[in-house]
Amino acid sequence: MSKVAVVTGGSRGIGEGISLALKEMGMTVAANYGGNDTAAKAFTERTGIPAYKFDVGDHEAALEGCNRIAADLGPIDVVVNNAGITRDSVLHKMTWEDWNEVMRINLGGCFNMAKATFPGMRERKWGRIVNIGSVNGQAGQYGQVNYAAAKSGIHGFTKALAQEGAKFGVTVNAIAPGYIDTDMVAAVPEPVLQKIIAKIPVGRLGHADEIARGVAFFCSDDATFVTGSTLSINGGQHMY
């Protein structure tokens, strides 16, 4: 029986690439999405992967959404916490709502999805959780105290939960992407984007499938001895 995987924010951008990579591995994939019904419908028609709408930052909605997926497809074996938003602003102009919404979805979503699925993985003695962090959670970024804090929190969350899951066959790892050619990055003003690319040693933006291959490795049986790890895929933009 194939493993059941849930990818949050899984119908567009990096999430779509991850959903497709896991499907190619033979997994039964469900893509979560938050709001764009038209894009989600087009994604399902294009890929055959069902899309489930719920807000990962809402605890009860995440629990209910995972229960719905499990009822339809079977117990959830793999979770990829990819859903994320930006509300960029320098601190003295940032509102509480801008701070809270980014923390609620980007970091809170990881907790909510793990809370919904980790106990079952633990009982079945097998599971994979992959959290999508960011180069900006490692290095910081001007105008992103909310996003950088949330993504940095994801890396700490990963290491702590990995210690809880290790003896139960549940691995928890993270990927820290650099700048990837997604809609989120496309929204960056062109002059700013060119300055960003100039700081990437390989001289280009990354592609969603390059992140997806890292996720696929963490979710495979080749990675049974890898947990609590963060894989940086950033073209050399941040090295440490």
Average pLDDT over residues 144-158: 96
Average pLDDT estimate for 140-163: 96
- Segments in 48-85 forming alpha helices (H): 59-73
Question: What is the domain extent for residue 135?
Answer: 4-233
**pLDDT of 186 higher than 80:** no
pLDDT at 21 over 80: yes
Token duo for residue 67:
């229960």
Q: Is residue 64 part of a domain?
A: yes
Mean pLDDT for the chain overall: 95
Domain membership flag for residue 227: yes
239 is a domain residue? no
Domain-embedded: residue 240: no
Q: How confident is the model at residue 190 (pLDDT cuts 50, 70, 90)?
A: confident
- Please give the span between the terminal C-alpha atoms of the chain, in angstroms, as a whole number: 40
Which has the closest alpha carbon to 28: 4, 46, 47, 12?
Answer: 4
Residue 22 forms part of a structural domain: yes
Question: Which of 142, 147, 179, 240 is flagged as catalytic?
Answer: 147
- What is the tally of structural domains in the chain? 1
The CATH number of residue 215's host domain is 3.40.50.720
User: Could you say which DSSP state residue 180 is in?
Assistant: B
Q: Identify the DSSP state of 167.
A: G
Instruction: Tell me if 182 is assigned to some domain.
Output: yes
User: Is residue 146 within 8 Å of 103, Cβ to Cβ?
Assistant: yes
Instruction: Classify residue 53: in a domain, yes or no.
Output: yes
Type of residue found at 212: A
* Rounded Cα–Cα distance for residues 2 and 148 (Å): 36
Within a domain: 40: yes
Give the strand pairing for 51-53 and 78-81. Answer: unpaired
- pTM over cut 0.75: yes
| Residue 179 known to be catalytic | no
For 86-127, give the DSSP string.
---B-GGG--HHHHHHHIIIIIHHHHHHHHHHHHHHHHHT-E
CA dist., res. 33 & res. 11, Å (int): 6
Instruction: Give residue 120's pLDDT band: very low, low, confident or very high (50, 70, 90).
Output: very high
